[in-house]
Amino acid sequence: MTTQAKSDKDRVVIFDTTLRDGEQCPGATMTHDEKLEVAELLDDMGVDIIEAGFPIASEGDFAAVHEIATRSKNAVICGLSRAAFKDIDRCAEAIKPAKRKRIHTFLSTSPVHMKYKLQKEPHEVFEMVISQVTRARSHTDDVEWSAEDATRTEHDFLCRCVEAAIKAGATTINIPDTVGYTVPEEYFKLIAMLRERVPNSDQARFSVHCHNDLGMAVANSLAGVNAGARQIECTVNGIGERAGNAALEEVVMAMNVRNDVLPYWTGIDATMLTRASKLVSAATSFPVQFNKAIVGRNAFAHESGIHQDGMLKHTQTYEIMTPETVGVKQTSLVMGKHSGRHAFVHKLEELGYKLAANQLEDAFVRFKALADRKKQIYDEDIEALVDEEIAHAQDRVKLVSLSVIAGTRGPQRATMKLDIEGRSAIEECDGNGPVDAIFNCIKALVPHEAKLELYQVHAVTEGTDAQAEVSVRLAGEGRSVTARGADPDTLVASAKAYLGALNKLMVRRQRGGVAVSEGRLHSTEVG
């Protein structure tokens, strides 16, 4: 990173949409409390604008945006709304308590969206742009207007809509690559064209919002900045619709590390990037790809002999940034069965966790149990254990015990005891393999119609005593949720992951998105 003087014209505003575009993607649902925790961290990290949700979407979304607005410190709190006045008014109500608030209102402008999705003629869309922005401006003077599917919009029409939106009072103009279709050169030209051709373009800040369908979201966003955009919309870990959005940590570090060719700056404290990544991964149960840029667990790992040799001679041989710059701590504290509570708390702090007293107690008991079974405890083991503790603290269905008979003889049989909202229930089931037997027990104890979409096992660390981490994705009613379970016993981890996903579906059902159907659980809820 260079140390050139920072000028206002090079300041890039970071608009985080982890809680809106990120949370709306299949399986990434967060609970109310998880959203608050993520928002607090984003605010502390220096995110300029937090898009906290889509208030009209559900009571749960409204409540989360409202609470985030109430607790906000420095960040502008933003809510999303379609063009309808009731959407905009609901959004205004949700963000009302924030010190600084923004309404983000959007409308499709591409021929394919106008014809098939909106079923409206361009002149009707044009009038709607004016009325939606005017309505939003009646609530706040910070209004963002997005031309949905802008990269597939006819240029003359886009210029007219952008001009009209600015005239009606939009202070930020967002040019989304909604379907992740553009390429850097083309996107650069689009932003440059708008800034040049729209007569009042100097009265608004241009923003980029790129999806990653072709793997170019970050490159496209940076090309947009090179063309004069000064706001990047992005998400932690790049989560978002389909292939996701531009990853916050990647755009920030690209500008930090290559400031010689990307001479821009942000207000982000990059040393918090790893913490943010871990928190969002734990809250959404979306694992971070091992080789993910900046925050993947291999991002600073060197395995090959040649690389290790180079690193020992000089770290810059194979590292373009130090782990510390993104908050990866190099620590010498080795955890094991002799470690006490104090060391455990210290380790948690180092890893960026802040647990409530009861969660800490539970996590410590589970850490001791793990240390009795496993020779070496790595940071990843502790992270898996604590992430699970956080993710499952509110669970209504909990695993009490599990025993499995497996082997060549068959049939494989599982005996499972669950705590279902304080009531104990036990079941014994056969299956086509031990995992099938376990899942059959869960289905017998908690009848539901959700379908298993994904079952994936990987080891958290090395060795035969490594903790297994299992991911399970369940789908119901066109939506899906993913959860993880970790345990040195793969079968226990499988049960935990399945139950984790089921618990998430129940949370979703409470918020009105149903997936767990009739059956014993339903009746205990009523009774």
110 binds, among Zn ion, ligand KIV, none (CB under 5 to 8 A by kind): none
Long-range own/partner contacts, residues 256-260 (CB < 8 A, 24 or more apart):
256/1, 256/321, 256/325, 257/1, 257/320, 257/321, 259/1, 259/2, 259/4, 260/2
State the minimum distance, in angstroms, from the CB of residue 178 to ligand KIV.
Answer: 3
Query: To 5 degrees, how large is the angle CA 510–CA 25–CA 387?
Result: 70
Single out the segment in contact with ligand KIV by CB under 6 A; choices: 42-50, 129-137, 174-182, 392-400. Answer: 174-182
State the minimum distance, in angstroms, from the CB of residue 146 to ligand KIV.
Answer: 4
Q: Does 244 bind ligand KIV (CB under 6 A)?
A: no
40 binds, among ligand KIV, Zn ion, none (CB under 5 to 8 A by kind): none
Q: Does 250 bind ligand KIV (CB under 6 A)?
A: no
Name residue, tokens 């089931």: 429
Of 211 and 504, the one with the shorter C-beta distance to ligand KIV is: 211
Tokens standing for 23?
Answer: 């949370």
Q: What are phi and psi of 210, to 5 degrees?
A: -120, 135
State the minimum distance, in angstroms, from the CB of residue 57 to ligand KIV.
Answer: 12
State the minimum distance, in angstroms, from the CB of residue 345 to ligand KIV.
Answer: 40
Of 31 and 109, the one with the shorter C-beta distance to ligand KIV is: 109
148 binds, among Zn ion, ligand KIV, none (CB under 5 to 8 A by kind): ligand KIV
Give the residues across from 412 on adjacent strands: 431
Tokens standing for 282?
Answer: 């734990």
Single-letter code of the amino acid located at 368: K
Q: Does 178 bind ligand KIV (CB under 6 A)?
A: yes
Query: To 5 degrees, how large is the angle CA 506–CA 487–CA 342?
Result: 100
Single-letter code of the amino acid located at 148: E
DSSP class per residue in 267-317: S--GGGHHHHHHHHHHHHT-PPPTT-TTTSTTTT---SHHHHHHHHH-GGG
State the minimum distance, in angstroms, from the CB of residue 234 to Zn ion.
Answer: 10
Q: Tell which one of 15, 62, 106, 145 touches ligand KIV (CB under 6 A).
A: 106
d(Cα 252, Cα 303) in Å, to the nearest integer?
A: 26
For Zn ion, the nearest residue by Cβ is 21
d(Cα 86, Cα 23) in Å, to the nearest integer?
A: 22
From the list 11, 79, 22, the residue with the least C-alpha distance to 209 is 22
Of 20 and 504, the one with the shorter C-beta distance to ligand KIV is: 20
Give the count of alpha carbons within 13 A of 418, CB side only: 27
State the minimum distance, in angstroms, from the CB of residue 17 to ligand KIV.
Answer: 7
Of 176 and 224, the one with the shorter C-beta distance to ligand KIV is: 176
Strands of 412-420's sheet in order across: 397-405, 412-420, 423-431
State the minimum distance, in angstroms, from the CB of residue 174 to Zn ion.
Answer: 9
Of 146 and 339, the one with the shorter C-beta distance to Zn ion is: 146
d(Cα 418, Cα 443) in Å, to the nearest integer?
A: 12
By CB under 5 A, name the binding residues for Zn ion: 21
Q: Tell which one of 13, 15, 18, 21 touches ligand KIV (CB under 6 A).
A: 21
Question: Contacts with ligand KIV: how many residues (CB under 6 A)?
Answer: 9
d(Cα 326, Cα 297) in Å, to the nearest integer?
A: 12
d(Cα 341, Cα 349) in Å, to the nearest integer?
A: 12
Of 99 and 242, the one with the shorter C-beta distance to Zn ion is: 242
105 binds, among Zn ion, ligand KIV, none (CB under 5 to 8 A by kind): none
Of 151 and 339, the one with the shorter C-beta distance to ligand KIV is: 151
State the minimum distance, in angstroms, from the CB of residue 157 to ligand KIV.
Answer: 16
Strands of 451-459's sheet in order across: 451-459, 468-476, 479-487
d(Cα 481, Cα 474) in Å, to the nearest integer?
A: 6
264 binds, among Zn ion, ligand KIV, none (CB under 5 to 8 A by kind): none
113 binds, among Zn ion, ligand KIV, none (CB under 5 to 8 A by kind): none
Single out the segment in contact with ligand KIV by CB under 6 A; choices: 170-178, 247-255, 387-395, 446-454. Answer: 170-178
Spell out, one character per residue from 130 to 149, where the chain touches ligand KIV: x when CB under 6 A holds, - when not. ----------------x-x-
d(Cα 342, Cα 479) in Å, to the nearest integer?
A: 42
265 binds, among ligand KIV, Zn ion, none (CB under 5 to 8 A by kind): none
Q: Does 209 bind ligand KIV (CB under 6 A)?
A: yes
DSSP class per residue in 112-154: HIIIIII---HHHHHHHHHHHHHHHHTT-S-EEEEEETGGGS-
Single out the segment in contact with ligand KIV by CB under 6 A; choices: 173-181, 344-352, 434-442, 519-527. Answer: 173-181
106 binds, among Zn ion, ligand KIV, none (CB under 5 to 8 A by kind): ligand KIV
State the minimum distance, in angstroms, from the CB of residue 140 to ligand KIV.
Answer: 18
Residue 19: its H or E element? none
Q: Does 508 bind ligand KIV (CB under 6 A)?
A: no
Q: Does 152 bind ligand KIV (CB under 6 A)?
A: no
Chain residues in the site for ligand KIV (CB under 6 A):
21, 106, 146, 148, 174, 176, 178, 209, 211
